[in-house]
Amino acid sequence: MDPMDITPAEAARRMATEDMVLVDVREPYEWEAGHVPGSTHVDMETLGQRLDEIPQDRPVAFLCLGGTRSGLVATTLKSRGYDAYNVEGGFRSWFEAGLPTEPDGATVAPH
Which residues belong to the active site? Answer: 64
Residue ranges of alpha helices (H) inside the chain are 8-17, 28-33, 44-47, 68-79, 90-96
Compute the 3-state secondary structure of the chain and give helix, strand, coil in percent, each to the nearest 5: 40, 15, 45
Q: How far apart are CA 92 and CA 67, in angstroms?
A: 9
